[in-house]
A and B are shown apart, each in its own frame.
Chain A
Amino acid sequence: MEATTSKGSLSEIAAARQQKQPGSNALGVGLEARGVHAWFGEKHALANVSLDFWPGTVTALIGPSGCGKSTFLRTLNRMHEFIPTAAMAGEVLLNGEDIYAAGVDVTKIRLKVGMVFQKPNPFPSMTIAENVLAGLKLAQLKIENKDDLLEECLERAGLWAEVKDRLNTHGGALSGGQQQRLCIARALAVRPQVLLMDEPCSALDPGSTLRIEETISQLSSSVTIVIVTHNMQQAARVSDYTAFFLSDGGPGQMIEVGSTNDIFSRPKDERTENYVTGRFG
């Protein structure tokens, strides 16, 4: 059994990594999943997923509905455990340390591994400025220069120009796409190392989707991004690596991972090929 199939060939990964060195600011692998399983009560939803997320890269998780992509994503920032019947196995290492180890402060993990959700969810009781800085307030982090941080995050999220004159108004008047960028800015304000995105564009129109994809490309130099998407074209546009998930009625498994180019043009597994060529899913 070739060790290459579940992680992609080492040479490819090394080559891709070399392309991405500029801008990556963490030594070694930032986030690693090792043999992650997930259960909901009796139901085994995810089996044996091992995946590395290199700093400065964008990794897309693709696959048909219900194969565990979102579940896997939520094991990476310990949101999976909010479901009362949830259980897991395996390890998730952030900078070499298991985030599920005993005594770990889960709120600190979530500061380093942020998340943007499918449906934009800014806090309606707060102004735009307050929304962006909400993470700091929630974690009671002191920050020297709030205005600079505000501008920086909104700029990185691609929203600054549109809202700089109305930072103190409530976010209710923003369009869906703008709200999602606000959520991205909010997630960035706590300076995460990794940003998880769970189908961030599926509730948005194509115009907003493109704007956000641009944002993702720009962000990737400073934040590792993992994005779950149903949209294969999006995965091809935006990501450096792609992992294909599939469930054959049992638990979801990661079938293949590799550079995006390879997955879409030269997939090694027949099931991957069937999916990316549109034969199912």
Chain B
Amino acid sequence: MSTVEKVAAPKPRKPWAATPIDRSKTAGIILAAALVSFAVVAITPMKGKLAYAAIFFTAYIIIDFVVSYQKAGRPAAVDSLFRGLVTTAIAIAVTPIVSILVTVWVRGHKGLHWTLFTKDMHSNSFTDPVGQGGLLHAIIGTFLLVIVAMVISVPIGILTALYLTEIRGRFTRPIEFLVQAMSGVPSIVAGLFIYAAILIPFTKTVNGIQGSLALAILMIPTVARTSQEVLKLIPSDLREAGVALGGTQFRSVALVVVPAARSGLITAMILGVARVAGETAPILLLTGGSGTKNYNVFSGSLGSLPNYVWQAFSAGTPESITRAWAGILVLLIIVVILFTAARVLGNRKVGKK
């Protein structure tokens, strides 16, 4: 009988991980690139933050290339070059997000005040000083528009998703294709359609529900697609268990599958709402932009946040522009809240990447 020596287990290491020496080399390259960018900006007529950034990244990439070449030859140098390029790409991709968020806050918070949420604009004009009037009507309007749009689009979207995942009949490929096609419909086209189908022949004036219909068209694809993804993740054992117990497909879906997917379906709804809450073009065509609170979605012009922003911007004075930014700030906060809610809900049930 032979035994293998029992040795006390050594500590696990990661010899391939970046060592302090590697890190300081990288820091050195970054520093060198920064110096180069300052030097070039000082010498040449290039100016501005963008110039600094552009030169910094270019210098970093070049220096990194040369250093890698010395160390390990051409393949490593090319690898470093590519790495530098994609890192630059992500930096460029993320910069507008930061810039937008910062801009909205900086320019918009000046226009924030309590009356924003308690007053409407019926007795003020957009060019009035910022403390007067408010966007209560706009919030109510957006809220109503979105609710009605949800009532229309969520059932259709979820039914579409159910067809694609549960029934999977012979229309599956065409319907998938059509849902994708619908997601590419420009918002103005949706507005024109409702204008032609409802406004011209029937109502002949602006009202809220027309706008909701256009928004619903834009919402359906988002709701349908997200719901489909969520329903696909429900393991088929659940469905089979429901049917094996003697239930109809209807019961299996309604009582087993849908509840299991509940949080995901809510996520789909929320994402759909976030998508259309800020749509401007159809509203301009169909809903008008009254400054007065209007609770009636079926008649009369309805204010809305995007419309408020639009009118404020069009007025053109510094006060009105501040109002516009404040309106956008409120809209953005709503969108961010919705988005975060969707994320949190989405991560609870299924692990999404």
**A21 on the interface (CB 8 Å rule)?**
no
Binds A, one of B6-14, B192-200, B298-306: B6-14
**Contact: B2 with A2, CB < 8 Å?**
yes
| A39 to B13 alpha-carbon distance, docked (Å) | 9
| A121 to B11 alpha-carbon distance, docked (Å) | 35
**Contact: A107 with B2, CB < 8 Å?**
no
Residue of A nearest to B74 (CB): A140
**Contact: B14 with A81, CB < 8 Å?**
yes
Give chain B residues whose Cβ lies under 8 Å from the Cβ of A268: 2
**Contact: B16 with A253, CB < 8 Å?**
no
Give chain B residues whose Cβ lies under 8 Å from the Cβ of A255: 4
| A39 to B12 alpha-carbon distance, docked (Å) | 7
| A1 to B76 alpha-carbon distance, docked (Å) | 47
From known contacts A48-B5, A107-B75, A253-B4, infer whether A87 and B10 are also in contact, taking CB-CB under 8 Å. no
| A263 to B73 alpha-carbon distance, docked (Å) | 45
Residue of B nearest to A5 (CB): B2
Which parts of B1-30 form the interface with A (CB within 8 Å)? 1-5, 7, 9-16, 19, 21
**Contact: B12 with A89, CB < 8 Å?**
yes
**Contact: A35 with B10, CB < 8 Å?**
yes
**A86 on the interface (CB 8 Å rule)?**
yes
**B93 on the interface (CB 8 Å rule)?**
no
**Contact: B10 with A89, CB < 8 Å?**
yes
Task: Kindly provide the distance from the CB of B340 to the nearest chain A CB, expressed in whole angstroms.
Answer: 27
From known contacts A107-B75, A140-B75, infer whether A87 and B5 are also in contact, taking CB-CB under 8 Å. no
Residue of B nearest to A250 (CB): B9
Residue of B nearest to A138 (CB): B75
Task: Kindly provide the distance from the CB of A223 to the nearest chain B CB, expressed in whole angstroms.
Answer: 23
**Contact: A37 with B1, CB < 8 Å?**
no
| A2 to B3 alpha-carbon distance, docked (Å) | 8
Give chain A residues whose Cβ lies under 8 Å from the Cβ of B75: 107, 138-140
Which parts of A141-189 form the interface with B (CB within 8 Å)? none
Name A's interface SS.
mixed
Interface centre among B9, B16, B74 (most CB of A within 10 A): B16
**B72 on the interface (CB 8 Å rule)?**
yes
Task: Kindly provide the distance from the CB of B1 to the nearest chain A CB, expressed in whole angstroms.
Answer: 6
Size bracket, chain B contacts:
20 to 34
**A64 on the interface (CB 8 Å rule)?**
no
**A205 on the interface (CB 8 Å rule)?**
no
Name B's interface SS.
loop
**Contact: A48 with B2, CB < 8 Å?**
no
From known contacts A1-B5, A254-B4, infer whether A87 and B14 are also in contact, taking CB-CB under 8 Å. yes
Which parts of A239-256 form the interface with B (CB within 8 Å)? 251, 253-256
| A169 to B113 alpha-carbon distance, docked (Å) | 71
Residue of B nearest to A91 (CB): B15
| A91 to B10 alpha-carbon distance, docked (Å) | 12
Q: How many residues of A contact B (CB 8 A)?
A: 34
**Contact: A101 with B15, CB < 8 Å?**
yes
Which parts of A62-81 form the interface with B (CB within 8 Å)? 78, 81
From known contacts A87-B12, A100-B16, infer whether A105 and B4 are also in contact, taking CB-CB under 8 Å. no
Give chain A residues whose Cβ lies under 8 Å from the Cβ of B78: 140
Residue of B nearest to A38 (CB): B12
Contact of B1 among A101, A107, A138, A269 (CB under 8 A): A269
Residue of A nearest to B75 (CB): A140
**A47 on the interface (CB 8 Å rule)?**
yes
From known contacts A105-B72, A105-B76, A107-B76, infer whether A88 and B5 are also in contact, taking CB-CB under 8 Å. no
**A44 on the interface (CB 8 Å rule)?**
yes
Give chain A residues whose Cβ lies under 8 Å from the Cβ of B74: 140
| A20 to B315 alpha-carbon distance, docked (Å) | 92
**B242-280 toward A: CB 8 Å interface, digit per residue (1/0)?**
000000000000000000000000000000000000000
**Contact: B14 with A86, CB < 8 Å?**
yes
**Contact: A5 with B16, CB < 8 Å?**
no
Task: Kindly provide the distance from the CB of A158 to the nearest chain B CB, expressed in whole angstroms.
Answer: 30
Which parts of A22-48 form the interface with B (CB within 8 Å)? 35, 37, 39, 44, 47-48
| A81 to B14 alpha-carbon distance, docked (Å) | 8
**A102 on the interface (CB 8 Å rule)?**
yes
**A209 on the interface (CB 8 Å rule)?**
no
**A215 on the interface (CB 8 Å rule)?**
no
**B68-103 toward A: CB 8 Å interface, digit per residue (1/0)?**
000011111010000000000000000000000000
Task: Kindly provide the distance from the CB of A166 to the nearest chain B CB, expressed in whole angstroms.
Answer: 30
**A203 on the interface (CB 8 Å rule)?**
no
Q: Known contacts A87-B14, A89-B11; can you find 11 more A-B pairs with CB under 8 A?
A: A5-B2, A6-B5, A44-B9, A47-B9, A48-B7, A48-B9, A89-B9, A89-B12, A90-B10, A107-B72, A138-B75
Leading 8 A-B pairs by shortest Cβ distance: A87-B12, A5-B2, A100-B15, A89-B10, A39-B12, A81-B16, A140-B75, A269-B2
